[in-house]
Amino acid sequence: MSDLPLRSQLAVALGRTAAKMSRLAGRGDGSVIGGRIGLRLDPELLTRLAKDRKLVLVSATNGKTTTTRLITSAMTPLGEVATNAFGANMPTGHVSALASAPGAHYGVLECDEKYVPMVLRETGANVVALMNLSRDQMDRAAEIWLLAGKWRRALEASPQSHVIANCDDPLVTWGASTAKSVTWVAAGQHWREDSWCCPECGGPLDRRDTEEDSDWACRQCHFRRPRPDWTLKGDQITDPQGRVFPLTGLSLPGRANRSNALVALAVVAQFGVPPEQALPLLAQVTSVAGRYTTVEHQGRTMRLLLSKNPAGWLEAFDVLQPAPGPVALSINAQGPDGRDTSWLWDVDYRILRGRPVWVTGERRVDLAARLEAAEVSFTVVDDIDQAVMSVPPGHLDIIANYTAFQSIRTRYGRVV
């Protein structure tokens, strides 16, 4: 840090001041504005800040914030770790994260899928973790086949980067397979509607799932699932040496988080942290940026779940209280949510039949039309308070998309 050129030091200092002022003004954690000012003064700032550090980039459509958090926790034995814990996952956020931890030799950076090539080029990250690609809000996200192609070119041009990739996701496998060295992790794939075709040749993919294993291969070309180095079966993890560990103490719920934990173990093993040391550190993560948090209000215990796209809804459904536990759903369509609600029709809501369901958010009418078509009974309310006060005291699961989630979090306390 002290060997940064003067201009860069100034850029960091001004960025930090701006971030602090933004925080004082109550506008989030300030990392985006701080990074933006820093980059404007010194466009090379990210490269300079990344120099001489060991960096991990974490990218996926879903689970990148959580996995970043898990990896960061498991890397604490190595010393201070810089990270963008608040989901500011573009270069401005990366600059902030690195600038605010000048002494950290390690960094774990959540990276927006589209920015992987650019951030890889500027930081030369040592490890890149790639987990899943699925349809996301298309008015803001890129087309995923195109995106995976860009990952391929970026990784080919970055031979020093070691990749940890989920071989159960065919598109991620294709995106990662130009890397010089890859650790394949069988982290599972629950949403499959975007991977029926071979990314290499467009031919049909044949998929086979048994209790023991899940496999896929193209019917027309050589492209097939690589042999995994790490596997997860139920709660049993097997590492590349064939050692088996139970993944039982995890505090975060659901199969998606077990997958995230497996990826985290593979990443930190790359830095010499063995699973037996990493597992208790993963267990210490109880909530991530308010997700999975439980908040108490008027005798109701509410659990907040964030779901931004169809694959995310599958993950949320997986951790619901058993039926007939009540559920409140809140949907907005502001910029960060995607302004188009078409994706609601990719989610199979029939799983909510037989529960009391409350519907709210700015696009509650879209959701009502969707649930009606799925023959799910529901009650539409004007705001989340009405839903909360309508359920009897006890547990309530709340699933919301991005801005809806943030407003509920603000309403009931910003627990991190």
Partner 1 sequence: MSSDRIKIVWIYPDLLSTYGDQGNTIVLERRAALRGIPTQTVSLRSDEPVPADGDIYLLGGGEDRPQILAAQRLRGDGGLARAVQSGAVVFAVCAGYQLLGHEFGGEEGQPVQGLGLLDIRSTRGEQRAVGEIVGDVAAELNVPRITGFENHQGVTHLGPNARPFAQVVHGVGNGDGFEGAYRGRVLGTYMHGPALVRNPGLADLLLRWAVGRDLQPIDDSWAGRLREERLNAVMG
Question: Which residue ranges make up the site for partner 1 (CB under 8 A)?
Answer: 135, 138-139, 143-146, 193, 196-197, 202-204, 219, 339-340, 342-346, 365-366, 368-370, 372-374
Nearer Cβ to partner 1 (16/135): 135
CB of 203 to partner 1, least distance (A): 8
List the alpha helices (DSSP H) in 336-416: 364-373, 384-390, 402-412
Q: Which does 168 bind (CB under 5 to 8 A by kind): partner 1, Zn ion, none?
A: none
**Residues, the chain, total?**
416
Residue 327 backbone dihedrals phi, psi, to 5 degrees: -135, 135
State in angstroms the smallest separation of the CB of 74 from partner 1. 36
Minimum Å gap between C-beta 372 and partner 1 is 5
Angle, vertex CA 342, rays to CA 340 and CA 344, nearest 5:
115
Question: Which of the listed partners (partner 1, Zn ion, none) does 218 bind, with a CB threshold of 5 to 8 Å by partner kind?
Answer: Zn ion
Give least dist CB 354 to Zn ion, A: 42
Q: What are phi and psi of 10, to 5 degrees?
A: -65, -45
| Smallest separation (angstroms) from partner 1 to the CB of 143 | 4
Closest CA to 186 of 127, 236, 249, 147: 236
What is the identity of the amino acid at 284? Answer: Q
223 binds Zn ion (CB under 5 A): yes
Residue 44 binding target from Zn ion, partner 1, none, CB below 5 to 8 Å by type: none
DSSP 362: T
Secondary structure element (H or E) that encloses residue 162, with its range: strand 162-166
Gap between the Cα atoms of 26 and 11, Å rounded: 23
Among Zn ion, partner 1, none, partner that 276 touches (CB below 5 to 8 angstroms by kind): none
Cβ atoms 259, 131 nearer than 8 A: yes
Structure tokens at 33: 């504005």
- Shortest Cβ distance from residue 206 to Zn ion (Å)? 10
Q: Are 363 and 341 in contact (CB under 8 A)?
A: yes
Nearer to Zn ion, 153 or 219 (CB): 219
The span from the CA of 334 to the CA of 341, in Å, is: 10
The Cα–Cα gap between 42 and 210 comes to: 53
Query: 209 phi and psi, to 5 degrees?
Result: -125, 125
Nearer CB in complex with Zn ion: 222/227:
222
Tell me which of Zn ion, partner 1, none is bound by residue 128, counting a contact when its beta carbon lies within the kind-specific cut-off of 5 to 8 angstroms.
none
Nearer to partner 1, 113 or 366 (CB): 366
Q: Which does 25 bind (CB under 5 to 8 A by kind): Zn ion, partner 1, none?
A: none
- CA neighbor of 54 nearest in space, from 219, 360, 308, 272: 272
Identity of the residue, 67 or 195, whose beta carbon is nearer to Zn ion in the bound complex: 195
Q: Which does 223 bind (CB under 5 to 8 A by kind): Zn ion, partner 1, none?
A: Zn ion
Residues 183-202 that bind Zn ion (CB under 5 A): 198, 200-201
5 binds Zn ion (CB under 5 A): no
Cross-strand bridge partners of residue 182: 163
Q: Which residue lies nearer to Zn ion by CB, 93 or 175?
A: 175
Cβ 138 to partner 1, closest distance in Å? 5
Binding residue count for Zn ion, defined by CB under 5 A: 8
- For partner 1, the closer of residues 237 and 333 by Cβ is 333
Measured between alpha carbons, how far is 82 from 65 in angstroms, rounded to an integer?
Answer: 14
